[in-house]
Amino acid sequence: MMGSWRWNVGLGLFGVVLTFLFSLDSNGLGVSAVRSVYAFIAFFVLAYLFRIVLAAVFREIVTKPVQEPETMDENKGSTVDMSTPDETDQLNEMLRMQLDGNVKTDTDEQVPFQPLTPPKLVSTQNKEPEELAKAIRHLTGG
């Protein structure tokens, strides 16, 4: 078991103080005192349950065997290669293809460049009122 009964009493007293302060505003002294006793019991039991759960979790962590790595290379991870590969030929080829207006795909086919053609926005200024009413009924489900 983790800790001692003092943790339970401490959390119980914390519950007593909180309950008494919040209950005293809207209740009398007697009702607030009774509710504080109930709060002490509830916080004491909840702290006990919380300690049991923590003990089970830590017991599981502590008893779990540590797996040793099979082989450790002593130099592994001690140096970092900060150089980038030389891809200037590949970059020049891509730029040349872009200037020609062709885009190379994964299947090695040359596809001419085509800009996006989004649909045009439609104005409702010159529409018939009946068409607008039908559209509104259709959108509102009425």
Tens of pLDDT, residue by residue over 67-79, are 666 666 677 777 8
pLDDT of 71: 64
Which of 21, 15, 3, 2 is CA-nearest to residue 45? 15
| pTM exceeds 0.85, yes or no | no
What's the chain's length in residues?
Answer: 142
- Listed by start position, the domains of the chain span 5-63
Q: Where do we find the tokens 């926005």?
A: 121
Amino acid 26 reads S
